[in-house]
Amino acid sequence: MGKSMKHISSIVIAGLAFLSCSGLALAAPDWPTKPITLVVPFSAGGGNDSVARLLAPALGEELGQSVVIDNRAGAGGTVGAGVVAQAAPDGYTLLICSTGNLAVATAVYPKLGYRIQDFAPIAHIANTPTIWVAAPQVPAGSLKEFISLAKREPGKHNYASSGNGTTPHLAGAAMATRNGLEMQHIPYKGSAAAYPDLAGGRVSVMMDAIISALPLVEAGRVKGLAVGTAQRLPQIPSVPTLAEQGLADMGYTGWVGLCAPRGTPAPVVEKISRGVKAALGRRNMRDFLVRQMAEPVGDGPGKFSQTIGRDAATWRDIAKSSGITLD
């Protein structure tokens, strides 16, 4: 009996020693012990970068370590996402993940160097509602009217996007495919580059984030056809919601969140998630998001994972039905 107990004790001690040297040690309360890198897969100054730069110091205070921004722009956010997918799953490299670089990119790029399963969802930061806008010359006052117009005039109208394989690209393709519209896709390098042609009537319609389009709609440079929010916006009350037009499924609301490499210990993920939720509870953070026409969320890993999975399935279906596949 004595020898057996000694043998069991040896096994237990050896097991504990192994765990202390493994990734599970990251579950210890003293994590983090060094600065955290937050990879922003977009250029400095953009909407997601602005969110990250406000979140980083607040999250750093909640976790007790500095959070350093690392901009890794390129290929619609997929370059930075690829970097994080290959990073050590220790919680010290995080990603600003979004609809575009997770749900959409994985649907249209079969040779993409990562999959959704390569990430551990941490927190759903905010939703970014969309708006459909048209050239002022287009004789339609709503998206429903535009669809009817495009049906009557096949081949006459086109749709712009912020680039091949982006959310606006697939949204425009979905509109055309579902309604049997003959429309050419005109890609630009970012939605801002599309607006001069949209305002000038060289392209007909585009879906974009409300924050990007709102100033131009208010100024009358482009026409608002539909907003993807639950209610009409007080800034542009004449623009109807998609739901009012029976087109609620064409909102394609975007989202931005925080992800880590797959395999990051669950206690670390939960700790970061709590930190994000606390940061979102700060007045300055929420006020900033509202000014950006974003809707603060704060969901943790479980619900955020469901959101990503649901959106990914939607975009896969759209890409397949529209025949969109990119190298």
Give the separation between CA 294 and CA 257, rounded to whole angstroms.
Answer: 12
Q: What is the predicted pLDDT for the residue at 12? A: 42
Question: Could you tell me the mean pLDDT of each successive run of 10 residues in the chain, 327 residues long?
Answer: 46 44 51 98 86 96 98 91 98 98 96 96 97 98 99 98 93 97 95 96 97 95 98 96 97 96 98 98 95 95 98 97 94
CA distances from 98 to 104, 258, 260 (A): 9, 8, 13
H or E segment and range at residue 260: strand 254-261
The secondary structure of 133-165, three-state, reads: EECCCCCCCCHHHHHHHHHHCCCCCEEEECCCC
- What is the full DSSP assignment across 48-71? HHHHHHHHHHHHHHHHTS-EEEEE
pTM, entire model: 0.86
Residues 6+ apart with CB under 8 A from 8: none
Burial status of residue 204 (CB atoms within 10 A of its CB: 0-12, 13-18, 19 or more): buried
Q: Please, are residues 158 and 173 in contact by the beta-carbon 8 Å criterion? A: no
Q: Of 273, 74, 90, 125, which Cα lies nearest the Cα of 82?
A: 74
Q: What is the predicted pLDDT for the residue at 74? A: 87
How many CA atoms does the CB half-sphere of 111 hold within 13 Å?
3
Q: Of 210, 209, 194, which Cα lies nearest the Cα of 135?
A: 194
Q: What is the predicted pLDDT for the residue at 21? A: 41
C-alpha gyration radius of the chain: 23
Q: 32: cis peptide before it, omega within 30°? A: yes
Amino acid at 184: Q
| Tokens 């493994």, located at residue | 22
Residues 6+ apart with CB under 8 A from 251: 129, 130, 228, 242
- Evaluate whether 33-129+253-322 and 134-250 have a shared fold: yes
Q: Please, are residues 225 and 239 in contact by the beta-carbon 8 Å criterion? A: yes
Q: What is the predicted pLDDT for the residue at 52? A: 95
Homologous superfamily (CATH) for 134-250: Periplasmic binding protein-like II (3.40.190.10)
| C-beta neighbour count of 67 within 10 angstroms | 24
CATH number at 33-129+253-322 = 3.40.190.150
Q: What is the predicted pLDDT for the residue at 47? A: 82
| Tokens 């579902």, located at residue | 178
For residue 2, give the 3-state DSSP assignment. Answer: helix
Q: Where are the domains of the chain?
A: 33-129+253-322, 134-250
Q: Please, are residues 84 and 93 in contact by the beta-carbon 8 Å criterion? A: yes
